[in-house]
Structure formats: structure tokens, C-alpha cells
Amino acid sequence: MFFYIFEFVKDQIKKELAKLIRSFNRKGWSPATSTNYSFRISEEPNTIVVSRSGIDKAYFTKDDFIEVNRKGEALPAFESQRPSAETLIHCSIYDLFPQAQFVLHSHSVYPVLWSMKLQEQIIFQGYEVQKGFDGQKSHLDEVCIPILENSQNMVEFSTWMENRSAEFTNHCFLIKGHGTYAWGKTLFEAKRHLETLDYLCELEWKRNFESK
Ligand SMILES: [Zn+2]
């Protein structure tokens, strides 16, 4: 009985997330089949539902998710399908931040531009939209978002994340030359975090390099 309820709940979330993935694609945030997305439901904390690798995000549907365990290994029903190489980043976020239920990833342009200019972090101050990050109360505060090195070795990358986990107070980070990750307790919140980060990166870039 519970099995069917959980499956129904997951199906509804898959539909909602697939719709969001297609809308992010329309913004140019997932070129050339890139990026990945995941969620879990509180009743099944050890199962992560993650987007399948190599799918054109313009056509992503609720049937393009697979289920993996906390180590990123496909569950038996999904063994024939390949999880994305970056699934382990999702697993690390769920391990480090138990409240996270949704993880979103973007390859949008402005965060990547900043990540190639800066080293350890990007700092925003003075923008109303900073309050889009859960916990931020005023535009006057400094908001620091960590930048991590890129790596194809996901075990190494997970160790870097763990070492810097205290810096992830705004529920997101940048990866050098790569993109952004953001998470939240709900899909609404995770989306808000990702959009807040992207908007601030674009604004700050234009203020620094495009305004006369
Ligand atoms: Zn990526």
C-alpha cells in the first residue's frame, strides 16, 4: 500500500521537476545534454531520484529519471541505465545537508565567467535579491558563495566539499569553469536558490564589465 503511495508521490514530483528542467533549458542553462537534477522523498531517505545521463533537456520527461542509493549506484530496477557521473555530487550534498530534498545544477554563463576570474569565493552585497537565499535578511549583509575547483574525480571533489562544508551557508556553490549547484528543502526553495545565484552573478558581471 505504502509502496503505491510513494510511487504516486514520486511520479508527481518527477512531472514537476521535468517541467522545471525544460524551462531551465529554455534559458540556456543546460547546453549539449549537460546538467543533472535530483530529489528524494522523506519516506525513502536512502533513495535518490536523479536525471539520467545524456538526455537533451529540451525533451526531458518524467520517464528520464533513475533511482540510485546513497553511494550513487543504480537500484536493481534501473541497472541497465547509466546515472550521470556527477550523481556523486548530489549524494555528497544530501550527506552534508540532511535537510536538502532537491538538488539542481546549472551550466549558465555568468557564474562560469565569474568562476574563471575569481579563486575561492564570490561575494555579493547591496542587492535586494540576496534575500532569495534562505537565512538572508538584508541587502546590506555580505553574501559569500564558495567556488570549488573542477574535477573529474568525484571522490576527490566530494572530499573538497566536505572540507569546505561550513562555507555553504547559502545552499549553493560554483564550480570553476563548470557551473552551479543549489539545493533546498522543497523544489520551490531549490529553484529560488539557483535563480538567485544566477541573477546575482549576471548583475554583478554587467555592473563590473558592461556598464559605462
Ligand atoms: Zn555539470
Q: What distance in angstroms lies between residue 204's CA and the mean position of ligand 1's atoms?
A: 22
Please give the distance, rounded to the nearest whole angstrom, from the Cα atom of residue 91 to the centre of ligand 1: 14
List the end-to-end C-alpha distance of the chain, in Å, as a whole number: 63
**26 within 8 A of 59, measured Cβ to Cβ:** no
**21 C-alpha to center of ligand 1: Å?**
14
Name the least confident of 79-88, 131-140, 172-181: 79-88
Å from CA of 161 to ligand 1 middle? 15
List own/partner pairs for 89-95 with CB under 8 A and 24 or more apart: 89/154, 89/157, 89/158, 89/161, 89/181, 90/36, 90/38, 90/48, 90/50, 91/48, 91/158, 92/157, 92/158, 92/161, 92/162, 93/161, 93/181, 93/183, 94/40, 94/48, 94/70, 95/70
Select 2-209's CATH number: 2.160.10.10, 3.40.225.10, 1.10.8.60, 3.40.50.300. Answer: 3.40.225.10
| Residue 82: predicted pLDDT | 77
pLDDT, one tens digit per residue, over 138-174 is: 998 999 999 999 999 989 999 999 999 999 999 999 9
Mean pLDDT of 25-48: 93
CA 162 – ligand 1 centroid, Å: 19
pLDDT of residue 2: 63
Distance 85 CA to ligand 1 centre (A): 9
Distance (Å) from CA 2 to ligand 1 centroid: 34
Q: What DSSP designation does 82 have?
A: P
Residue 207 Cα to ligand 1 middle (Å): 26
**pLDDT value for 3:** 67
Give me the percent of the chain exceeding a pLDDT of 70: 98
User: What pLDDT does 43 receive?
Assistant: 87
Render pLDDT for 177-193 as a digit per residue (tens, 0 to 9).
999 999 999 999 999 99
pLDDT number for residue 85? 82
Note the pLDDT of residue 41. Answer: 92
Q: How many angstroms does the Cα of residue 135 sit away from the middle of ligand 1?
A: 26
Q: How far is the CA of 107 from the centre of ligand 1 (A)?
A: 6
